[in-house]
Amino acid sequence: MDRFDALLPRPVSVRPKPGSLRITHDFSLKIEGEPGERLSKAALRFQKRLADKTGLFLEAGEPGQCALVLQCERVGELVLGEDERYSLDVTPTQAVLRATTDIGVLRGLETLLQLISADQEGYIIPCVEIDDEPRFPWRGLMIDSARRFQPLDVLKRNLDGMAAVKLNVFHWHLTDDQGFRVESNEFPLLHELGSNGEYYTKEQIRDIVAYAHDRGIRVIPEFDLPGHAASWVIGYPELASAPGPHVRHIDIGVLDQVLNPIKESTYGFLERFFAEMITLFPDEYVHIGGDENNGKQWLANPEIVQFMREHDFETILDMQSYFTERVLGILTRLGKKMIGWDEILTPNLPATAVIQSWRGRESLVEGARAGHKIILSNGYYIDLCQPAEYHYLNDPLPSDMELTPQESTNILGGEATMWSEVVSPETIDSRIWPRTAAIAERLWSRREDCRSEDLYERLDVISLHLEELGLTHEKNYPQMLRRLARGRKISPLQTLLDVCEPVQGYERVIQRKYTVLSPLTRAVDAARPDARGAREFRNLVRHYQGEVATGSRLKERLRIWAQNHEALAPIIEHSPVLQEITDLSRSLSTIATLALECLESPGRSLNEHEKTALAEAKEPRGQLQLVVVSAIEDLLTKER
């Protein structure tokens, strides 16, 4: 795959030209225009990444002989809709990267790094003219630091990954039932009693905000209210809608705890709280959550019921709408705009509030028609371990969407959401990457450029590129296999897990009770969405038309699987945590053996016992799904 095809996200326009610009040890750059400190820092990072990729000991070349010129007119502002356009002109003597803002230049530098190639003489950048700009202005990744705390290095490397694929909003889910993760001086019991001691100090918050700022990424903090607030009321029970005792919750799941919406003191508290928090977060938006309030505690509280009656609130949503408007009032007084999950979308919600659509696309259409700005997250829930292609096909604004052009402009973009019920710092990158790169392309590139036929091949390329930024989605896989194999050879385990995926959707947490302390070191945690071995096998089967070479490769694969259980069984015996995948391992060998037999005897039909074996092979075991069974069935159908 050539460098232009591999570019991800695909630029608006790519015009290759003959020749290439050579990268040598005196490759140097200069900045023209009004760059500001952010671009100077970005240029240093670019040089380091260039040196790391090439092993070149870069030295300043002759003045006036700069190979790369960065030009921008002004320092960009980190606000919604800021100009991120850039154009890149690479000739054999020089690359010129032009943009209105330094943020545009940052986007272009990422494209440039993806273009680095090699010929027999050394490293080059192929000559090309590129013009590029984003389709949507809001392209985000949400990380849930509340349920499972995510250390700073996890966030930083993911911010680097975001910048590499031109995402521009880091939505930071900072509070939830299971943990309150921001230091507050106004209300110190929030983080002291609302967490297990794992929270971000103000200095650390500023560090992350600055780190994101340097990469042209906005940071939107989320303080989830009025539900998901069990961690708030431990230290401040006066906020609660129900009597205590209020304790820390470690179970996964939605709790009943909800703030008391009828006490004036609640709003006084929140006004002081938000006034403190906005000193940390310069972005114009603050996310107030608003999701999944089941209302049980409100209906069980006679005073709240009485208040609802007095105000003619018929439903929980009416009561919450009142709460939301009060909070909106606070944020407005503080000079901030509000964003919330789609539950906040009620008829009397002022149009200034932004809606994040998570439950379905209905709220997207409804909200856009009502004049709200909307971002899409439904279909981008990367915690659910669905395939990259599924997310990729999810267009926030498909061509058949029934909106007027004016209404369409209300669709701002989307956000991938990394909820942390069952991810640890060790596994989180493998749940975010490379699938989030597919979402990033969907949000940046033009609709017609989002073609899924070579998506996975391109994700393989960007995946290695992302690894260079410190992301651990590749390297932690064998690490986890080493732990599981307890010193034995990992290859049989890898052969199995290369064709297994974690169960998709909410099955993982429905099938088994998890707490935020449950170990995430099992086979299901090591396995990854879009299992590579299964994908390769499916591709072979899909294109197989009886060719001898492909047939041999398929049989070779099947033979390895057929023998794998024999190799894996002693490892499982040596490592009790693997016992839950014994049947899965046996299944793979059984169906591979069966498939080989069928391939050897064309026309042979399956008996009932064998059909059962194939059906059983599809059942999840150890919360893992064998994802080659259908492809094997297809193969048998083709051969018959």
Q: What are the residues facing 90 on neighbouring strands?
A: 95, 128
Q: Could you say which residues in the range 120-149 bind its own copies, by CB under 8 A? A: 120-123
Q: Which is nearer to its own copies, 75 or 469 (CB)?
A: 469
Q: Which is nearer to its own copies, 297 or 420 (CB)?
A: 420
How many Cβ atoms sit within 10 Å of the Cβ of residue 177?
A: 28
| Given the residues 133, 292, 474, 580, the one annotated as active site | 292
Figure out which of the listed residues 468, 547, 556, 566 binds its own copies, where binding follows CB under 8 A. 468
Stretch that binds its own copies, among 113-121, 172-180, 277-285, 314-322 (CB under 8 A): 113-121
Measured distance CA(465)–CA(440) in Å, rounded: 15
Q: Which is nearer to its own copies, 79 or 464 (CB)?
A: 464
* Total binding residues toward its own copies, as defined by CB under 8 A: 47
Q: Could you say which residues in the range 515-554 bind its own copies, by CB under 8 A? A: 515, 517-519, 521-522
Stretch that binds its own copies, among 66-74, 119-127, 446-454, 608-616 (CB under 8 A): 119-127
Q: Rule CB under 8 A: is residue 294 a binding residue for its own copies?
A: no
Measured distance CA(249)–CA(210) in Å, rounded: 32
Measured from the CB of residue 470, what is the shortest distance to its own copies in angstroms?
Answer: 8
Q: Rule CB under 8 A: is residue 118 a binding residue for its own copies?
A: yes
Q: What are the residues facing 225 on neighbouring strands?
A: 289
| Closest by Cα among 210, 327, 335 to 280 | 210
Measured from the CB of residue 520, what is the shortest distance to its own copies in angstroms?
Answer: 8
Q: Rule CB under 8 A: is residue 186 a binding residue for its own copies?
A: no
Q: Give CA torsion, residues 434, 554, 494, 423, to 10 deg.
A: 30
Beta strands in 303-436 (DSSP E): 337-341, 354-357, 373-376, 411-418
Measured distance CA(557)–CA(545) in Å, rounded: 17
Q: Rule CB under 8 A: is residue 185 a binding residue for its own copies?
A: no
Q: Rule CB under 8 A: is residue 53 a binding residue for its own copies?
A: yes
Q: Rule CB under 8 A: is residue 489 a binding residue for its own copies?
A: no
Buried b (16+ CB within 10 A) or exposed e, 512-537: eebebebebebbbbbbbbbbebbbbb
Figure out which of the listed residues 2, 62, 203, 312 binds its own copies, where binding follows CB under 8 A. 203
Q: Rule CB under 8 A: is residue 486 a binding residue for its own copies?
A: yes
Q: Which residues contact 626 (CB under 8 A, 6 or more apart)?
A: 499, 500, 584, 587, 588, 617, 618
Measured from the CB of residue 412, what is the shortest distance to its own copies in angstroms?
Answer: 34
Measured distance CA(176)–CA(253) in Å, rounded: 11
Q: Rule CB under 8 A: is residue 460 a binding residue for its own copies?
A: yes
Measured from the CB of residue 112, what is the shortest distance to its own copies in angstroms?
Answer: 16
| Amino acid (one-letter) located at 108 | G
The pair of three-digit structure tokens given for residue 529, joined into one six-digit string: 């969405």
Q: Which is nearer to its own copies, 556 or 573 (CB)?
A: 573
Q: Which is nearer to its own copies, 510 or 615 (CB)?
A: 510
Figure out which of the listed residues 294, 491, 494, 575 binds its own copies, where binding follows CB under 8 A. 575
Measured from the CB of residue 139, what is the shortest distance to its own copies in angstroms?
Answer: 26
Figure out which of the listed residues 28, 54, 494, 582 binds its own copies, where binding follows CB under 8 A. 54
| Closest by Cα among 84, 618, 147 to 418 | 147
Q: Rule CB under 8 A: is residue 311 a binding residue for its own copies?
A: no
Q: Rule CB under 8 A: is residue 55 a binding residue for its own copies?
A: yes
Stretch that binds its own copies, among 115-123, 221-229, 290-298, 314-322 (CB under 8 A): 115-123
Residue reference for tokens 């023209």? 32
3-state secondary structure of 218: strand
Helix (H) or strand (E) run with residue 254 in it: none
Figure out which of the listed residues 96, 509, 577, 599 binds its own copies, where binding follows CB under 8 A. 577
The rounded radius of gyration (Å) of the Cα atoms in the chain is 27
**Is 37 designated active site?**
no
Measured distance CA(194)–CA(189) in Å, rounded: 7
How many Cβ atoms sit within 10 Å of the Cβ of residue 434?
A: 31
Measured from the CB of residue 550, what is the shortest distance to its own copies in angstroms?
Answer: 20
Contact in structure between 498 and 526 (CB atoms under 8 Å): no
Q: Rule CB under 8 A: is residue 582 a binding residue for its own copies?
A: no
Q: Rule CB under 8 A: is residue 569 a binding residue for its own copies?
A: no
| Closest by Cα among 626, 518, 516, 608 to 565 | 626
CA–CA distance from 352 to each of 303, 340, 636 (Å)?
Answer: 31, 11, 57
Figure out which of the listed residues 30, 85, 263, 483 binds its own copies, where binding follows CB under 8 A. 483
Query: What 8-state DSSP symbol labels residue 515?
Result: B
Return the active site residues: 292
Residues engaged in binding its own copies (CB under 8 A): 48, 51-58, 118, 120-123, 151-153, 201, 203, 460-461, 464, 467-468, 472, 474-476, 478-479, 482-483, 486-487, 513-515, 517-519, 521-522, 573-577
